[in-house]
A and B are shown apart, each in its own frame.
Chain A
Amino acid sequence: MSDFTPNEMMTIAASRALTSKDVCFVGIGAPSAACNVARLTHAPDITLIYESGTIGTAPDVLPLSIGDGELCETAVSTVAVPEMFRYWLQGGRISIGFLGAAQIDKFGNINTTVIGDYHKPKVRLPGGGGAPEIATSCGEIYITLKQATRSMVEKIDFFTSFGHGEGGDHRKRLGITTKGPTLLITDLAIWKPDPVTKEFTVVSLHPGVTREQVQETCGWTVKFADDLEETPAPTELELKTLRDLQERTKRAHEGGKAA
């Protein structure tokens, strides 16, 4: 087994959560890499949907944006954006929403809008895009992000998209019928919500990672499952698939006019 980076482990662990039966709304960045590694390894029949309206897409390189031409060329169907959000997302046809996050709290609430006060922001982030409705209309939500104390915080500055709110049955109280965040994959660990409190709990540490490392890079006091597991290391096939995909992507995007 060759060496692998924490980021590679994160992407591969995330890819393993997906199956050929899933219909997955794909966020750009880390989720996009994970979804395509899944498609190229163990989940060839997964339906990947990007918010640009491409349904069942199979790109050869990772898109730089959610609307790259290749997503459309390789898709089963491409629909208008209002249709995407009305018939497909709001209509309840998507089983998994896969999101990244700038800031997240222990209940899987996500902020990608502002750091600081909304009206006088310290940093203005891009905003929600499709996320507010992806978070409540998809059957369940997977989240992936790199651990850091500034991104995993006790209290997020803005609820761009709703996870489990204050925990417990908060979703139900708001009339939300979908499951919300059920899986969080970081560069160090796999987390799942506690069945009752809904607080994300570490269920598996990636190879070589210690509990202390997970705590040092997280802004809240981390809970660990009693039967803590070790995430299996990436296989040769998984690593090769991911690296080849990233290499093809790098060549395609840097190429610009030469491409």
Chain B
Amino acid sequence: MSKVMPLDQAVRENLRNGDTVAFEGFTHLIPHAAGHEVIRQGFRDLTLIRMTPDIIYDQMIGMGIAKKVVFSYAGNPGVGLLRRMRDAIENGHPRTIETVEHSHAAMANAYEAGASGLPCAVFRGYKGADLPKVNPEIKSITCPFTGEELAAIPAHRPDVTFIHAQKANEKGDVLIEGIVGVQKEAALAAKKVVVTVEEIVPDFKGLHPNLTILPHWTVTAISVVKGGAHPSYTHGYYARDNAAYLEWDKISADRELFTQWMETNVLKATPEVFAERIKGL
């Protein structure tokens, strides 16, 4: 059975209300089209895991589909704050959300532990920091060999991980190049993996042998969405739409404007609009 299917089908068949979901992509390859499809299908009570929540989680939180957010940096990169997320944390609008906050090192280690089949991640971290006081999931463990006290946190085990990639081949192997981020770990930590790609090619002959990050049998579904990372970027295909990130600061500052923007650009849109959005980038 082919793993390749339209994005709406891939989301409908693999996500459930109340699921723990990761959408990864470290500035590069952020799966915006998948995020919009999840919003359109009106899922509820999701626990969202993402190192840098970014615009896509601002949109999900603003639309009220998240009950909990696990993160390590909640900003609009290089621009400022995430205004919809702040509104939820500071004012409970449109609903209250639970937050579980970590450092980047902790989040990266937790994905790696999940991918490794371990129950927890162990690393040298959080020394002197206040996060362990407000996040009960941060504990410590003593090295049995040296006696050094190290930080320990639970592994990330998402029900579904969504990522965006440059390309897949007809078998369903997935290739990523450029800033590779934490997508391989997030995918291998998850029970199911949904990948959007710029294109599907017959095979990867002639390409660099280390670029395939996920063999086809680790991937649940693949959907072709040209421009699917916009306003993030896809190395080798289109640049980051920095102007859109700056613009988001204005849109997200106002509840009314945000609602209108989401109505026009997400609820009434389809994955096909992303191809338009990257023209000229």
- Chain A contact residues, CB within 8 Å of chain B: 28-29, 51-54, 63-69, 71-72, 78-82, 84-86, 89-90, 109, 113, 118-119, 121-133, 135-137, 158-162, 165, 170-171, 174-176, 252-259
Chain B residues with CB below 8 A from A71, complex form:
179
In the complex, whether B13 has a CB less than 8 A from a CB of chain A is no
Chain B residues with CB below 8 A from A162, complex form:
127-129
- Segment at the interface with A among B81-89, B167-175, B218-226: B81-89
Known: A137-B124, A176-B128, A252-B242. A52 touches B26 (CB 8 A): yes
Chain A residues with CB below 8 A from B281, complex form:
256-257, 259
Known: A28-B78, A161-B129, A171-B128. A129 touches B104 (CB 8 A): yes
Chain A residues with CB below 8 A from B239, complex form:
69, 259
Known: A129-B103, A257-B280, A258-B280. A85 touches B108 (CB 8 A): yes
Q: What are 5 of the A-B contact pairs (CB < 8 Å)?
A: A65-B27, A65-B78, A128-B73, A135-B129, A171-B128
Are A121 and B105 closer than 8 Å at their CB atoms? no
Q: Which A residue sits closest to B180, measured CB to CB?
A: A80
Known: A124-B86, A128-B129. A69 touches B180 (CB 8 A): no
Within 8 A of A (CB), among B201-216: none
Q: Which B residue sits closest to A89, measured CB to CB?
A: B105
Interface size class of B (residues with CB under 8 A): 35 or more
Q: How far is the CA of A171 from the CA of B185 in the complex (A)?
A: 33
In the complex, whether B37 has a CB less than 8 A from a CB of chain A is no
In the complex, whether B273 has a CB less than 8 A from a CB of chain A is no
Tell me how far the C-beta of A131 lies from the nearest C-beta in chain B, rounded to whole angstroms: 7
Interface-central residue, A52, A121, A171, by most chain B CB under 10 Å: A52
Interface-central residue, A54, A67, A86, A176, by most chain B CB under 10 Å: A67
Q: Pick the contact of B184 from A80, A118, A135 — CB < 8 Å?
A: A80
Known: A118-B134, A127-B73. A253 touches B181 (CB 8 A): no
Q: Pick the contact of B243 from A86, A122, A175, A254 — CB < 8 Å?
A: A254
Chain A residues with CB below 8 A from B181, complex form:
52-53, 67, 80-81
Are A81 and B26 closer than 8 Å at their CB atoms? yes
Are B127 and A175 closer than 8 Å at their CB atoms? yes
Within 8 A of A (CB), among B234-281: 235, 239-246, 279-281
